[in-house]
Structure formats: structure tokens, C-alpha cells
Amino acid sequence: MSDPPEQPAPPPCLSVEGLEKEYRLGAERLAVLRGLSLEARAGELVAIMGPSGSGKTTLLNCISGIDRPDAGIVRLDGEAVDYTSERARTLLRRNRIGIVFQFFNLVPSLTVRENVALPSLIAREGPGEERADALLARLGLAERAGHYPFQLSGGEMQLASIARALMRRPRLLLADEPTGNVNPSAGRRIMATLGEVARDEGATVLLVTHSPEHAAFADRICFLKDGVIAAIREHGGRADEVLPIHEKLVRLGI
């Protein structure tokens, strides 16, 4: 009896092909992304590293539609993303992509629970308190649900912003320096949480970091230089691989 035919592998959750972006500074043009391509699978945590000006934040902004790419194709689950209108880009961020910013961006007049549930209210899905409470409990913030942002530590505020980004179960989570404004202990907790999110939610997490220690939590590290991926390192997310990451940065001149 013959074995059943193998099923084709599903498309990567995120596929970026030939992404280009430039900015005009007076009469000059500054090319930031120069035909960048990458793929990321569902359940994978991918870290982006590189020097200032290498295109890390621009990459996240173009994928999310905060900036509009000049050329290239971005696909989510095999479907090309529509960047042609502001409405299309807004719906992309509202329905398919969660974003975690370095500076938290929590609404000071809302409780932590209300901040986390805000995406559901904007999408007119109802209050969403049950989902918000479940996320806060999962991230260790259940006792902070009724507090206001000013009553939280930096690490707690970032965890709350991660919960908010997960509220509508996005396929892709983008995080720009999520550990940049917290202490080292909180940074490690945030990175461990992002790894758990990728595995448990089946989402792809793409994050920018300058920290080799935090990058070591990722399944894969992409090193950007001059608007393209200069190297990729795959590993098991072990803290003892921090030194090799440092060595890779030195070799690349990063």
C-alpha cells in the first residue's frame, strides 16, 4: 500500500520580496531599503539587528503600512498586501497586524484593561473585557487590570502594550525595540513573553533590537546593513549564544 502523497507546505506567514523605500531630503534621495527580501513562518520569533540607519524601523513601518513601500511585495499567508490606499493600510493594521512600540503609547486616562481592550472597541466588536482579562492574566498583569498606566513599571507598561497588540489575534506581531525603555530583567521577561506568544498563538513575531542578549531569545536573527539583509543566523534561542552574535556583528561592521 503506497504512502499518501505529501501535502504541500503552507506558505510562510510573512513573505517580503524586493522591498524598496527611499526618502527625499530636499534635492537628495536617501535609499533606506534596497530590494530587501525575507520570510518568516507561523510560530517563529525573528529578530532584526543592524546599525542605526540600516532600515530596521523602516522595514517594520513598510510592512505595517505606516509607510508605503516604493516597490516590492509583502504577503501574509500567501496573500499580497494592498498598500494602495490609506484605508487599506489602516484595515491591515486593525485586522491582521499587531504593533508594539518602544514608548508603550498607552492612553493615560484609561485603565490597563481598557487600554488592552481598545482595539476591539475601535473595530466595533464590543467591550472585549473577557479577552483582555485573559491576556492580562497570561502576561502576569491580572492584578493590574484596574490600574492606570502611571501606576505601572516600565516593564509592566510594555507587557500591557503587548497584550493590547494581541487583542484581535493578529497573524503578525511587529515590535520596534520593545525592550529599549525597560531594565534588563524586564527586557528578558518581555522577550520570553514574545517567544511564548509566537508559539502559543501561532503568530509570527518580527522585532527590532540592538541587544544581542535579547536577540538570543529569537529563533532566527537577520542582520541588516545598507538596506538589505547581510546575514541570517538560525539557532535555538539560547542565552549562551550571545557571544557568537557579538562576533557576527563585529564581522559585519555593525
Q: Which helix (H) or strand (E) holds 185?
A: helix 184-201
Q: Give pLDDT, residue 35.
A: 94
Residue in the block written with cell 491582521? 96
212: which 3 cell numbers? 544581542
Domain ranges of the chain: 8-76+171-253, 107-169
In CATH terms, the fold of domain 8-76+171-253 is Rossmann fold (3.40.50)
Q: Give pLDDT, residue 179.
A: 86
d(CA 12, CA 1): 32
Q: Give pLDDT, residue 6.
A: 63
d(CA 200, CA 252): 34
136: which 3 cell numbers? 492580562
Q: What is the pLDDT of residues 172-215, one digit of tens each?
A: 999 998 888 888 888 888 888 888 888 888 889 999 998 888 88
Q: Give residue 148's pLDDT band: very low, low, confident or very high (50, 70, 90).
A: very high
